Structure 1
Amino acid sequence: MELNEIRNELSVRGKNGIGFLSSAVVIWSLITFIFLQSFDIQQKNIYMLFSTGLMFPLSVLFSSFIKADWKLKNNPLGNLGLFLNIAQLIYFPILFWGIIHHPNDAILFFAIITGAHFFPYGWFYHTLAYYIMAPVISVFMLFLGLYLDGEKLWLIPLSMTIGLCFLVFWNRLDYKKKMI
C-alpha cells in the first residue's frame, strides 16, 4: 500500500481526528468559563490544568459517537497519532514555568502550544486544515496576548475555542470530500 493511501485511510477511518478536536472544543469552552470567573489567576491556572484531564475520556466518547476509529491497529502508521499527541506533553514544562513565573501568561503559553501541536497532523491525516490552522492559531494567539491586559485573558481561550470549531468544520469538509 502506498504512503498516501495509508494516510488517506487514517484520515477516513479516524475522521481527521474530529473526535479529539471536538473534545478540545469542550475543554477550551470550559477554560473560557474558568477565565470569566473572579478567581485569582493561580486558581484559574490550576482549574485550567485540571480541565485537561477530560481530554481522553471526552475524545473516546466523541469518537465513538461519530464512529471514528482512532486505534487503527491494522495501519502501519496507527500508533503515530498517539505519539504526536503525547509530544504536546513535552512542551508542558514551558507551561509550568509560565504558571510559576508569569501566571497571567500561562493561558497564552497553553494556547500557543495547543495550536502549534496540530501541525504534524496535517501530514498524518493528509489534510491542509492542520497545516494552515496550526500556525494561524499560534500566531493569532501571540498577537492577542501582546495586546490583552490581565482583565481580558478570557479572550484567549474563547479565541482558541473559535479556532478549534473552524478546524473541526474544515476537517469535516475534508473528510466528506475523501468519502466521495
Structure 2
Amino acid sequence: MNKQDLKKLKLELAINAKSGIDFIISAAIVWTIIAYIWTLPKEAFTKSIWTFYVGMFMLPLAYLLSKALKTTWTTKTNPLQPLGMWLNFAQLFYFPFLFFILRDNPDYFVMTYVIITGAHFFPYAWFYDEIGYAIFAGIISVGALLVAINVSTDQMYYVPLLMVVCLLLLALWLFISNNRKKGMIVN
C-alpha cells in the first residue's frame, strides 16, 4: 500500500465517521454531568464512583447521536476500520492507574480520568488525519493538571468543566474540518 492509498483510506473513514464527532458530543454531555457531580457535597470517593458509572452512558449516547448525525461506525471495505476500536481500547490499559488514584487520592480521580481520556485522543490525529485531536489531547491533559494544581479539592469540578469546553471546541473543529474534507472528495 502506498502513501496515497493510505491517505484515501483515512479520508474515507474520516468522512464516514465524521471524524468521530458523535463520540465527542456524547463525551461533552457525559462530562457535563460529571462536572455537576463534582459540585455535590459528597466525599470525593463517592463522586469518583458516580463519575465512573456516568461514563457508561457514553457509548449508548454516541450510538444515538450517530443516528441523528448520520455517521457510520463501520466501513467494512476499509482495512483501517478495526484500528479505530483498538485505539479506543488502549485507554483501558491506563485504568489501573485510575483505580490506584481512586484508592489513595480520590480527590484527584477526576483529574486523572480527564488526563487519560484527553490523552487517548492523540492517535486519532493520525487515524482521521485530524490535527485537532493532537492539539486537544495536549490541551486537555496539560490543562487538567494545571487546573487541578491551582484549585482547591472542593473546586475539582473545574477540571471536568475544562474537558467540556475542550470537547465542544473539538466538536466545532471537527464539524468544520469534516465539511472541508467532504469538499476534497467532490473536487
TM-score in same-fold range (> 0.5): yes
Question: Does residue 43 of the first structure (1) align with residue 62 of the second (2)?
Answer: no
Q: What are the Cα deviations for residues 53-95 of structure 1, in whole angstroms up to 9, with x where unaligned?
A: 1011011111111000011211111111111111111111111
The equivalent residue for 1:171 is 174
The equivalent residue for 1:84 is 87
User: TM-score, normalised to structure 1's length?
Assistant: 0.98
Runs of 4+ in 1 over 2 A off after TM superposition: none
Aligned mates of 1:159, 1:141 — CA distance in 2: 7
What amino acid does structure 2 have at the position aligned with 1:102? N
Aligned-pair identity (%)? 36
The equivalent residue for 1:115 is 118
Residue correspondences, number: 180
What amino acid does structure 1 have at the position aligned with 2:10? R
The equivalent residue for 1:9 is 12
Question: Does residue 95 of the first structure (1) align with residue 59 of the second (2)?
Answer: no
The equivalent residue for 1:61 is 64
Please report the RMSD computed on the Cα atoms of aligned residues, expressed in angstroms: 0.9
Question: Does residue 105 of the first structure (1) align with residue 105 of the second (2)?
Answer: no
By how many angstroms is 1:162 displaced? 0.5
5+ residue gaps, structure 2, are none
User: TM-score, normalised to structure 2's length?
Assistant: 0.94
Q: What are the Cα deviations for residues 133-168 of structure 1, in whole angstroms up to 9, with x where unaligned?
A: 111111111111111111101100111000000110
Aligned mates of 2:92, 2:33 — CA distance in 1: 20
Aligned mates of 1:58, 1:86 — CA distance in 2: 18
The equivalent residue for 2:161 is 158
